[in-house]
A and B are shown apart, each in its own frame.
Chain A
Amino acid sequence: QSALTQPASVSGSPGQSITISCTGTSSDVGGYNYVSWYQQHPGKAPKLMIYEVSNRPSGVPDRFSGSKSGNTASLTISGLQAEDEADYYCSSYTSSSTGVVFGGGTKLTVL
């Protein structure tokens, strides 16, 4: 069982918006503004899409945005495109001895 809870799957049509949630506790998501989101296409390494809750690395389209409320962080993708179809993982810094925890991942299907 993963430390952070994500929906197993979400879907949307091209041009639509979708939101993926990531629920943790006050020891991780709720306690720190160090939530990241990663995109992973099949057979590829994960790619950082959002860091520190809502910041985008250079080169990531502004269609990707992040937010947080309490113990739940969210990734929103607007104007869905076919290439957005991938697995998405959230992670958070945690005060436990492990340092970093991941969510179980969400498979995004673009219909």
Chain B
Amino acid sequence: QVQLVESGGGLVKPGGSLRLSCAASGFTFSDYYMSWIRQAPGKGLEWVSYISSSGSTIYYADSVKGRFTISRDNAKNSLYLQMNSLRAEDTAVYYCARESVAGTLGYWGQGTLVTVSS
């Protein structure tokens, strides 16, 4: 069955960096667009970034543009999110999700918590 497992979260100081990973299994990873979505404590969902199946098309939310970089390794069935210049407002649970068509997120990982604090 489809499984998405995020890792790499943790506590980081403002201005620091973190790299999240999402290991995919149970489907042909290279066939699907993938997204990162985050949820600040007690808040709603915020779409962060998505990447096409080949990696040729990438979009970012304005709130992370220029600081975050999404990438994928289809040979390793893995999705990544490099987060630089982290701010307190980036504190959230970060989910990776598989997109089926036009923003439909059919499968989600369990999430990884990123805390930005001094």
Contacts and interface: CB of A to CB of B under 8 A. Distances in A.
A97 B61 CA distance: 8
A93 interface: yes
Contact of B44 (A2, A36, A47, A48): A2
Contacts, number: 64
A66 interface: no
Interface stretch (B16-24, B67-75, B78-86, B99-107): B99-107
Contacts of B35: 100
A100 B47 contact: yes
Given A48-B104, A51-B104, A99-B47, 18 more contacts: A2-B44, A45-B108, A45-B111, A46-B105, A48-B105, A51-B100, A57-B106, A91-B45, A91-B103, A91-B105, A92-B103, A98-B47, A99-B50, A99-B59, A100-B35, A100-B50, A100-B103, A102-B46
